[in-house]
């Protein structure tokens, strides 16, 4: 870990984080859900002001959803992966759109793909999918093959070779 990141990690000690070093410039910070916003605010104040990505991982065996915020510093090139786990059956979290305006769209996307509700973000219209009628598609228990079989069932198609040949020859209009 770089020395500048070490200092930032020390300032996070009050939040009782679980620190994992992935790389010299990449650190994963796992905290409990009620402390995430404060951790993000602290990191933002320490120069990690660029929200690279906000995403979600579905840990179906643990019945949990992991929310991931990746923060990047343009000063020293360090990355913080801030992660927290929320209940999968009742996925509710708080918005960070006041910290990063673009998070509004990331939250909309996560609501659509994982079914996470973000309190404080009132714009939860579908973003990418149209007329979606199933469970959120990026959850692990959603099977795209079953869905497409159900939604677009196979039709019976019997080929009439003679008729097609006649159309081909121009004897009848197809």
Q: Is 65 in the site for another protein (CB under 8 A)?
A: no
Residues 75-104 contacting another protein, CB under 8 A: 75-79, 81, 100-102, 104
Find the binder of another protein among 19, 21, 34, 50 (CB under 8 A). Answer: 50
Q: Distances from the Cα of 130 to the Cαs of 76, 125, 126, 141, in angstroms?
A: 41, 10, 7, 20
Contacting another protein (CB under 8 A), which of 32, 42, 49, 64? Answer: 49
147 makes contact with another protein (CB under 8 A): no
The piece of 38-46, 53-61, 84-92, 158-166 that touches another protein (CB under 8 A) is 53-61
Using the structure block, give the residue that is written with the tokens 């509004």.
104
Residue with tokens 């790389």: 23
| CA–CA separation, 89 and 117 (whole Å) | 11
DSSP 32-66: -GGGHHHHHHHHHHTT--EEEEEEEEEETTTTEEE
Can you give the binding site for another protein, defined by CB under 8 A?
22-23, 25-26, 28, 49-53, 55, 57-58, 68, 70, 72, 74-79, 81, 100-102, 104-106, 113, 127-130, 137-138, 142, 144
């Amino acid at each position: 870990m770089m020395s500048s990141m070490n200092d930032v990690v020390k300032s996070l000690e009050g939040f009782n984080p679980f620190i994992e070093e992935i790389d010299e410039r990449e650190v994963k910070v796992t905290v409990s859900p009620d402390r995430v916003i404060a951790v993000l605010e602290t990191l933002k104040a320490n120069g990690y002001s660029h929200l690279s990505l906000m995403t979600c991982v579905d840990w179906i065996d643990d019945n949990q959803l992991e929310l991931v915020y990746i923060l990047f510093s343009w000063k020293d090139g360090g990355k913080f992966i801030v992660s927290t786990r929320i209940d999968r059956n009742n996925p509710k979290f708080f918005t960070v759109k006041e910290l990063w305006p673009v998070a509004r769209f990331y939250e909309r996307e996560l609501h659509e793909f994982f079914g996470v509700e973000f309190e404080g973000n009132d714009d939860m219209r579908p973003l990418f999918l149209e007329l979606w009628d199933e469970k959120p598609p990026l959850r692990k228990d959603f099977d795209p093959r079953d869905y497409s079989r159900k939604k677009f069932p196979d039709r019976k198609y019997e080929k009439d070779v003679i008729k097609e040949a006649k159309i081909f020859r121009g004897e009848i209009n197809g």
